[in-house]
Amino acid sequence: MRPKTIIQITKNITAREIFKIHPEVKQMLWGGQFWTNGYYINTVGQSDNEEAIRNYVENQGKEYKQIYRGQLEMFEGLP
C-alpha cells in the first residue's frame, strides 16, 4: 500500500469511530472535519529521524491555535 492510502484509511476509520462514540464532537468542529488535510511521513534510518518526528508531533497545530485562539479544544466541555 502507498503511504498516502494508509494515512487516508487511518484518518477515515478513527474519525468515524470518534463520531460514533461522541456524535456531539462533529458539531464542535469547524466544518465537521476531524482531520486536517496534512500528514507527515518519513523513512526510518534518516539521521535525526526520531527527533524530527517528535518535533513535528509536538508542534502540530501550534500555528493554527495562535490564529484561532479561543476556539474550543477537542472534547473541551464534554462530560
**Half-sphere exposure in the Cβ direction for 25 (13 Å, CA):** 18
The length of the chain in residues reads: 79
**Does the pLDDT value for residue 63 go beyond 90?**
no
Residues of the chain with pLDDT > 90: what percent?
A: 18
Proportion of the chain in helix, strand, coil states, percent, rounded to 5: 55, 0, 45
Res 65 pLDDT > 60: no
Going by the DSSP 8-state scheme, the letter that residue 71 receives in this structure is S
**Residue 79 pLDDT greater than 70, yes or no:** no
What's the mean per-residue pLDDT of the chain?
75
pLDDT value at position 47? 61
**Domains of the chain by residue range:** 1-36, 40-70
* pLDDT score recorded for residue 51: 78
Are residues 75 and 55 in contact, defined by beta-carbon separation less than 8 angstroms? no
Residue 19 has pLDDT above 60, yes or no: yes
Separation CA 58–CA 42 (nearest Å) = 16
